[in-house]
A and B are shown apart, each in its own frame.
Chain A
Amino acid sequence: MTQTDSNFLLDVQGVSKRFSGLQALNNVTLQIPEGSVHAIIGPNGAGKSTLLNVLIGLIEADEGTVRFDGRELRGMKPHDIIQRGIARVFQTPQIFPALSLLENVAIARLAKRDGKFAIKCVENLGPGNEVSDEAAEILTEVGLGDHVYESAQNLARGDKRRLELAVCLAAHPKLLLLDEPTAGMSRHDTNRTVELLQRISERGMTKIVIEHDMHVVFSLAEQMTVLAQGQVIASGAPADVKGDPKVIEAYLGGGPKE
């Protein structure tokens, strides 16, 4: 097997996935050093979300290896993968609609504190409880601190994304996977989210961001990988990749969006 470098937090080697007739991922290799921010871009259907789904065990790869923090992830149950220190923000915000924002985030704090399964029925959640208080702090950090008792379903779409981000941050993951974190947000909200993500990066959290908005990619990412038709067609620093003729042809088409 491929000798892997232990300096990489995430080391994806030769991952392929075929859906009946469609080669979604073809021999994808991706190496993410600890503490870096890596962007994945590519046209619709390039396999970006599929790749993230393989990482967290939502989809099983046909071939290849996914090593995270020195351990092979393939074959592990999704909750075990997440417990090893990965969090995922989905393309469509995944939250607990009828629960309050505080409860949404408290669930992730509990999953971090107590592990994947624990019967804790003596502790009372609520003010004064460490989990509830930490959850309130995280919500304030993402800018939702004034609505902690609101039901999550009452939030605007952009705020739902922010809530999901708070849920992910509450688990203090080593690796944060963001699937279009600013999709459907206004320019103002996008800027706020980018600012928030930059702030998180300062704490050294490793991130993979799928993004269409080049402004966001250039503000956040140190490295980027371009996928097209399930294959890596370029990778490197954003400024270099931007000028790659293959990338311009496959993705940027009429020239880079600014």
Chain B
Amino acid sequence: MSTEYRPHSWPREGIVLGVFAVVVFAMPWWLTWIGGYEALATKIVIWAIFALGFDILLGFTGYLSFGHAAFFGTSGYVAGLMFLHYSESIIPALLACLVVSIVLALVLGFLTLRRTGIYFAILTLAFAQMLHAAALSIFQEWTGGDNGLTMSAQPNLFGLPMDGLNVFYLAAVLVVIGFAMARQIRRSPLGLMLRSIKENQMRLEYTGVNVMAYKMTAYLISAIYAGTAGWLMVVYEPYVATKFLHWSTSGEVVIMSVIGGVNTLIGPMIGAAFMMYFENVVQSEIGELWKLVLGAIFVLIVIFLPGGFVDGYNRVRKVLGQKVPSRRHNVPDSPESMRKLRERGRTAEAGRTD
């Protein structure tokens, strides 16, 4: 086999997370070298959290939700209303956002997860659009309708004002925790169950596994990430735009995942950074043309690099003659541990055949 396998090791995990944390925390500085600005770093990290959670649903289970704006936007409104009417402390707002996201995910998941593929995508899209329509009509009094929810609040964490770099650090801490959690899920029994949903639901059910419960778990986890991102967005800028609930927000996270690389965890976050950079920096350079260019890039990636940026990176490494580890498995690459596993098996076989 051409693929190499890597065993799980805590020192290696520490290095991966350490490098990730350094890159994330240094973003306000390195982003300015390529034309970005401090606040853009915050937006990138918030979207990265959204996209990371989305990968646990789309990447692991293969369920393409086209309505994750439901969680992002609803959390946004909940956070806004909490700042406006209850407290400008961000903790109660976060708790409210998590509760609402979980309840909403249980309801929407129950209604949509029975269907797969395009039917699931359309159902999730429909429910999210219903919420968007409701926010603009029957809930206008609370949501501010078309104007969005405006406020003159200054969210704070135990009295520390959450503005500028403070919001960035908060988001950066959360994305590092979120990444560590997602990686842990991937290598755990739960992760294996979620990844097997994409492969063969029938085999899974007839192996004695409650597939619906696992699908719901993935949906809930991704909703929690999306809800956290929605809350952070309003902490970052105390204003809730109707766009947060709009289908284009759902579409954006899908595009981020695809161009970055579905089922890689890091890919969708890189996709988020790319999209935000494009929307904010490249747009100011090339004007209205940016959407056309972004569309072209998306098409090219889907056709030539179906695994996104991460796929591209791996291909370059292969061309350079480097070993590319397979990330689907948590198995040893050292000949020693392979030999041990096989010998254990052989002994078992010898004991049984004769």
Residues of A whose CB lies within 8 Å of any CB of B are 56, 58, 77-79, 82-83, 87-88, 90, 94-100, 102-103, 106-108, 110-112, 114-127, 131-133, 136-137, 139-141, 145-146, 148-151, 164, 167, 171, 199
Contacts and interface: CB of A to CB of B under 8 A. Distances in A.
Interface in B201-252: 202-211, 213-214, 217
Given A100-B331, A140-B348, A149-B1, A120 B189 contact: yes
B203 A96 contact: yes
Contacts of B342: 136, 140, 145-146
A125 B199 contact: no
B192 interface: yes
B209 A116 contact: yes
Nearest to A110: B189
B187 A124 contact: yes
B344 A94 contact: no
A152 to B, nearest CB: 8
B196 interface: yes
Nearest to B353: A199
Contacts of B114: none
Interface of B: 1, 5, 7-8, 184-185, 187-193, 195-196, 198-200, 202-211, 213-214, 217, 328-332, 337, 340-342, 344-346, 348-349, 352-353
Nearest to B263: A98
A98 B348 contact: no
Contacts of A96: 196, 199-200, 203-204
A78 B193 contact: no
A95 B200 CA distance: 7
Nearest to B337: A127
B207 A99 contact: no
B128 to A, nearest CB: 26
A28 B27 CA distance: 70
Contact of A88 (B193, B206, B348): B206
Contact of B188 (A112, A125, A164, A199): A125
Given A124-B8, A126-B7, A141-B348, A107 B187 contact: no
Given A96-B199, A145-B345, A108 B185 contact: no
A102 B191 contact: no
A111 B196 CA distance: 12
B349 A140 contact: yes
B207 A108 contact: yes
Nearest to B217: A119
Contacts of A111: 207-209
A125 B341 contact: no
Given A121-B188, A133-B344, A145-B345, A127 B214 contact: no
Specify the main secondary structure of chain B where it touches its partner: helix
A111 B252 CA distance: 36
A42 to B, nearest CB: 23
Given A79-B209, A102-B329, A149-B329, A114 B199 contact: no
A106 B193 CA distance: 10
Contacts of B345: 136-137, 139-141, 145, 148
B330 A124 contact: yes
Contacts of B192: 99, 103, 106-107, 110, 125
A166 to B, nearest CB: 11
A140 B185 contact: no
Nearest to B349: A140
Contacts of A133: 341, 344
B188 A122 contact: yes
Contacts of B184: 121-122
A27 to B, nearest CB: 26
B205 A79 contact: yes
A202 to B, nearest CB: 9
B188 A123 contact: yes
Contacts of A77: 210
Contacts of A140: 342, 345-346, 348-349
B341 A107 contact: no
Contacts of B330: 124-126, 132
A174 B202 CA distance: 21
Nearest to A151: B328
Contacts of A117: 209-210, 213-214
Given A124-B187, A124-B188, A107 B193 contact: yes
Contacts of B187: 124-126
Contacts of B349: 140-141, 145
